[in-house]
Structure 1
Amino acid sequence: MDVLHTIFTCIGTLLVISFTSFLFFILRIYAGKSIRNRKYAPVIGTVFHQLFYFKRLYDYQTEVAKKLPTSRILGPAQSMIYTTDSRNVAHILKTNFPKYSKGKHNQEIIMDLFGKGIFAVDGDKWKQQRKLASLEFSARVLRDFSCAVFRKRAAKLVRKVFGFSISNQVFDMQELLMRCSLDSIFKVGFGVDLNCVDGSGGDDNNFIKAFDDSNELIYWRYVDSFWKLKRYFNIGSEALLKKNIKFIHEFVDELIRTRRKQLEMKQDSVDKEDILSRFLVESKKDPEKMTDQYLRDIILNFMLAGKDSTANTLSWFFYMLCKNPLIQEKVVEEIREITGNNMKDKENLEDFVASITEEVLEKMHYLHAALTETLRLYPAVPVDGRCADADDVLPDGFHIRKGDQVNYMSYAMGRMTYIWGNDAEDFRPERWFKDGSFQPESPFKFIAFHAGPRICLGKDFAYRQMKILATALLYFFRFKLSDDTKVVTYRTMFTLHINEGLPVHAVPRRGLAGS
């Protein structure tokens, strides 16, 4: 009886503590948030509200933004402001840039995966990586090397799709693009050939899954108020995340060690065209700061930008072309006209891919517009934001308190009629043309590549890769969805993946010489 009494007493005590803790947590959410004060953005819910809508979070945010361009949800430590007002975006990303940072809350959430890479840091670390990355992305050697890599991967991708097409086989376009993009970023980033387009790699396949799942699990922390407790006890989603991150870090660490040994052994004879090799050379100037762990963090951040952004955008691009076949044919017509290769029943693949030069790509205004229109509706990063380091007032008049998170919703902004007109939700590349040529919009209106001092350095790099792959694929194939009736949606994570892939048919437009 004494044992049972002790057990029940312990259980009762734990329940009381749990209930009290939960009640305290709820009180913290509502306390001191000036809920009825009209100086602050209207409250539409709490972090629990986001949890309820998590599977369709970006569409829910779009519905709210159509009524309230700026609103907020309440968290235990701060308010989270969400806006689609381009004036507010310009304010936090440029005009008042020094008063906004990544913030402790964001850093706590993402640093387990991204460490001290460029997406997670502020201050001197950000400036150091920004300066180094800026030099690398502007270097002609990297531009030429990356273009050669993209063309080679495009040829491999065409051959892979040709195999599917001649057997009339349905395949997952998103998965194939992810593998191709991973191949490219590993070659450009690490100087390593993964050769995972054919899907035969063991650890390579595991790396893709671990990286994508970790992306989703990290994002889950934004709505999971108990993630720190789960991490402490290593249970549930946090246990899986820890396992994935361990695998990712070990995989990348081994690549860094291998590349460092190659550089040390071959000295000046080894190619230093890839980003890692150039960073390793730079690390010799300051080995205490540029440790292998720091290099890993930098490279993982570049991988998030390089793999996910281009593969995701191309996946949505082909989805939109399948839903709009007339636009698909207009893109193909431009490719044929500019490349001058429109009369052959069979084409030498290597010769065609080699002809996709930078000069050729610069003339493809309609392809550029179609990719940009895809990014308007399906931005690679659907929500991003900054933390206020001091009290502030936004251009729309709403007050911000120190510690509040101010988020701009790229996905929702692309669907706002008060930004893009009554046809905002239509896929219409022509909206980007003025007087017959492509006309860019303000980066605070079209926010797919961020804006201000932290604007994406890899913008041209990404467009180059996407144009080369799109040109090669569309020149040889017509794409159709395997099931036109299926509703295509996204996975809620940092980057906008298509949920459950993109099954398509590829119909050959011409054959491959020698096949």
Structure 2
Amino acid sequence: MLPTILFQYDQVLDLGAEILERCGGTFLVKGLWLAHSDMLVTCIPADAHHVMSTNFWNFPKGSEFRMMLDAFGNGLFISDLEDWSFHRRIGRALFNHQRFQQLSVDITLDKVENGLVPVLEHASQQSLAVDFQDLFQRFGLDATCALITGCDPKSLCLELPDVPFASAMEEAGKVIFLRHVYPKCIWKLQRWLGIGSERILIAAKKTLYDFAAEHVSFMRERSNMGTNQTEGLDILSAYINEDEAFQSSASDKVLIDNILSLLLAGKDTTSAALSWFFWLVSKNPSVETKIIEELKAAVPAKEAEKWHLFDAEELSKLVYLHGALCESLRLFPPVPLQIRTPLQPDILPSGHRVDPSQR
């Protein structure tokens, strides 16, 4: 299996989908002998619901998962059990907060109006080709960073500047993928010797850590001066204001881990979802026509001849657009796979048996 995956490195998800279709929705990847690296791959909805909901506590991400993603710390989307419950408690309270929800809307609309639209208008006027995926990655980085740290790196502008943090995140993602493909002994040896892809990851980790540490230090200073209560309610401020958990400088690592984890989750998921959506729309002219008709019908009559930026309330009424987005997410999910390791032996609804030696 390993040679096949390496040969089709850039099409591994398509390869997995083809095998799943041929095997009825589930197949077993055998790892090296005595390496306990067997992986059961399934796309059966009942199995996914069992692992992610019904028997959730028996299927943590596992220590191996955290080891592979060590570049992004131990934040909400990487941690397990008690650590995960703590991060989820703070995150859930924050995400449900009315001020935070309004901040999210304000940041998104501002980034569309003052970031994305000017770049697209400039490209249109100059008859320039643009990389939509790159623009959406910049959009996701700026919006997510502003929401998490309260600071906008402004990577989405006419100059399209190189952003070391974004490049480091991209490089780290590639190396982490290779860790899932290579036998553990190979990439661990590379890490120990500081060679190959692991050498790239070492440099990327430093860039990521320095970026997050700078923001934590800045917010700490504002907190000590009593000026951290901003008009908004960014995620970093919420963690710093959590009195029970943060009483010493040792908590800086927790803050840094969460910045990296949340940026990883927010930046690439947003850009992937938007990229696939616009690609699908371009391949389906009838859908594009219906979306445009719905948008035109929703524009107030007095603004029919003007450029109009839809607000959250107006967008909530666009039923066809919402359905098209949901279908795009179903066909091309931004996070196409989840890895879990059972704590205890279990039998999935499909009848397949799993045990702690598998993923």
- TM-score computed with the length of structure 1 as normaliser: 0.65
CA deviation after TM superposition for structure 1 residue 193, in Å: 2.3
Which one of the candidate residues 57, 62, 66 is aligned to 2:12?
Answer: 57
Which one of the candidate residues 76, 92, 96 is aligned to 1:138?
Answer: 96
Q: 1:387 to 1:79 in 2, by over 3 A?
A: same
Question: What are the Cα deviations for residues 364-410 of structure 1, in whole angstroms up to 9, with x where unaligned?
Answer: 111111111111121111211211111111212222122211xxxxx
CA deviation after TM superposition for structure 1 residue 142, in Å: 0.5
Question: What are the Cα deviations for residues 417-457 of structure 1, in whole angstroms up to 9, with x where unaligned?
Answer: xxxxxxxxxxxxxxxxxxxxxxxxxxxxxxxxxxxxxxxxx
CA deviation after TM superposition for structure 1 residue 286, in Å: 3.0
Q: What SS does structure 2 have at the residue aligned with 1:387?
A: coil
**Contact between 2:90 and 2:238, CA under 8 Å: does it hold in 1?**
no
Which one of the candidate residues 230, 245, 264 is aligned to 2:224?
Answer: 264
User: Higher strand share goes to which structure?
Assistant: 1
Distance 2:111 2:252 in 1: 28
User: Where does the alignment leave 5 or more consecutive residues of structure 2 unmatched?
Assistant: none
Distance 1:380 1:160 in 2: 24
1:313 matched residue in structure 2: 273
**Contact between 1:118 and 1:298, CA under 8 Å: does it hold in 2?**
yes
- Residue 397 of structure 1 pairs with residue 356 of structure 2: no
CA deviation after TM superposition for structure 1 residue 121, in Å: 1.5
Distance 1:200 1:280 in 2: 34
Structure of higher CA gyration radius:
1
Moved more, 116-125 or 221-230: 116-125
Q: AA paired with 1:97? A: F
2:27 matched residue in structure 1: 71
2:255 matched residue in structure 1: 295
CA deviation after TM superposition for structure 1 residue 290, in Å: 6.7
- Residue 221 of structure 1 pairs with residue 179 of structure 2: yes
Distance 1:342 1:63 in 2: 51
CA deviation after TM superposition for structure 1 residue 201, in Å: 7.4
Q: What SS does structure 2 have at the residue aligned with 1:82?
A: strand
Q: What SS does structure 1 have at the residue aligned with 2:321?
A: helix
CA deviation after TM superposition for structure 1 residue 221, in Å: 0.3
Distance 1:155 1:101 in 2: 41
Question: What are the Cα deviations for residues 308-357 of structure 1, in whole angstroms up to 9, with x where unaligned?
Answer: 1111110111111112222112112111212325864443xxxx33xx33
2:71 matched residue in structure 1: 113
**Contact between 2:66 and 2:74, CA under 8 Å: does it hold in 1?**
no
Distance 1:266 1:398 in 2: 56
Distance 1:133 1:269 in 2: 18
**Contact between 1:283 and 1:291, CA under 8 Å: does it hold in 2?**
no
RMSD of equivalent CA atoms: 2.0
Q: 1:375 to 1:341 in 2, by over 3 A?
A: farther
Report how many residues are paired.
352
Q: AA paired with 2:82? A: D
1:234 matched residue in structure 2: 194
Q: AA paired with 1:372? A: C
CA deviation after TM superposition for structure 1 residue 123, in Å: 1.2
**Contact between 1:48 and 1:223, CA under 8 Å: does it hold in 2?**
no
Distance 2:11 2:152 in 1: 37
- Residue 338 of structure 1 pairs with residue 310 of structure 2: no
Q: AA paired with 1:250? A: D
**Contact between 1:109 and 1:218, CA under 8 Å: does it hold in 2?**
yes
**Contact between 1:70 and 1:83, CA under 8 Å: does it hold in 2?**
yes
Q: 1:199 to 1:266 in 2, by over 3 A?
A: farther
Distance 1:96 1:392 in 2: 9
Q: 1:199 to 1:302 in 2, by over 3 A?
A: farther
Q: AA paired with 2:14? A: D
CA deviation after TM superposition for structure 1 residue 288, in Å: 4.6
Which one of the candidate residues 137, 140, 143 is aligned to 1:181?
Answer: 140
- TM-score computed with the length of structure 2 as normaliser: 0.92
CA deviation after TM superposition for structure 1 residue 54, in Å: 2.6
Q: 1:211 to 1:168 in 2, by over 3 A?
A: same
- Residue 388 of structure 1 pairs with residue 342 of structure 2: yes
User: Where does the alignment leave 5 or more consecutive residues of structure 1 unmatched?
Assistant: 1-44, 406-515
Q: AA paired with 1:155? A: E
